[in-house]
Structure 1
Amino acid sequence: MAPVHDATAWGESFDHLLECKTGQLVFQDFLRTQYSDENLHFWLACEEYKKITAKTEMMVAATRIYTKFVHVDAPRQINIDCVTREEISENISQPGPNCFDRAQKLIYGLMENDCYPRFLKSEIYQALLQQAERQ
């Protein structure tokens, strides 16, 4: 399980949670119970996408992200406004490094303001905190 200081730090800020691999996994488990784990998967995919420098690889990755999360019939469709979705659709044929920035920012905000506070109150997180206090 997570080291004590990690679980405690996750409660300090959403960024602490996302910066920790174990935190991501625990948060993902929580999101799965809320039927919204596609948000974290999309956010992480965007983080990886930003590291890509080769144009061909960028096109392949952008298409994969678009097809999986953004497209109207996407299997793991994220909840973004139609303007943002349309903007990505128009740019997907020539994706740049910032192609998903707006959508990623929206999803981050959704997770931080909605999912994260519920995570902190969840049984999953509370059990980890109690475990941390006993050590």
Structure 2
Amino acid sequence: MGKISRRFSLTGRLCCFPKDPLEDIETWSESVDKVLGCKAGQMAFREFLKTEYSEENILFWLACEEYKKIKTVPEMISSANRIYSEFVQTEAPKQINIDCTTRENITKNISQPNLTSFDSAQKLIYSLMARDCYPRFLKSDIYQGLLRRNDSR
């Protein structure tokens, strides 16, 4: 097993799951939703995306999921500005790959954010991950190594 698998297994053990987080690993091949629906899947997919230099996609998607749970306006404004400056604005440190129109719409409305401010961008990034990254993830050494390790237990 490579360095990534060891680090992943260590990280997986630190999580407080009711069962071993890798028990669901076979279901990850059913859909990208199965991967994104559990912490262990998110961590493995994130490790894979790092190898493809596209980790910002899952980080943005996760930030949007947290953003939708916000209950107060001040928290929403603060979080929206953080997401915007980290992922959306041109030359952002973790700039996501979205079309100009979507980026412009977010920029135009960022001064008055709401819980759906990032929905169109999040859908684009989800689609990119599902269509492009996810099939490669299933063939990757990271996923295949976890599958083998799970089978040998």
TM exceeds 0.5?
yes
Instruction: State the 1:28 CA deviation.
Output: 0.4
Distance 2:39 2:127 in 1: 20
Question: Structure 2: which 5+ runs fail to align?
Answer: 1-8, 13-19
Q: Which amino acid aligns with 2:45?
A: F
**RMSD of the TM alignment (CA)?**
1.0
Instruction: State the 1:32 CA deviation.
Output: 0.2
Distance 1:20 1:50 in 2: 18
Q: What residue in structure 2 maps to residue 70 of structure 1?
A: 88
Per-residue CA deviation, residues 53-84 of structure 1 (Å, 9 max, x unaligned), is 21111000000000000000100000000000
Q: Which amino acid aligns with 2:56?
A: E
Does 2:105 match 1:87?
yes
Does 2:124 match 1:115?
no
Counterpart among 29, 32, 36 of residue 54 in structure 2: 36
Whose RCO is larger (CA < 8 A, sep 6+)? 1
Distance 1:81 1:113 in 2: 17
Q: Which amino acid aligns with 1:109?
A: S
Instruction: State the 1:133 CA deviation.
Output: 1.6
Q: Which runs of 4+ in 1 moved over 4 A?
A: none
Instruction: State the 1:5 CA deviation.
Output: 2.8
The size of the alignment, in residue pairs, is: 135
Distance 1:58 1:42 in 2: 15
Distance 2:148 2:85 in 1: 41
Does 2:73 match 1:58?
no
TM-score, L = length of structure 1: 0.97
Q: What residue in structure 1 maps to residue 5 of structure 2?
A: none
Question: Structure 1: which 5+ runs fail to align?
Answer: none
Q: Which amino acid aligns with 2:103?
A: R
Instruction: State the 1:33 CA deviation.
Output: 0.3
Q: Which amino acid aligns with 1:44?
A: L
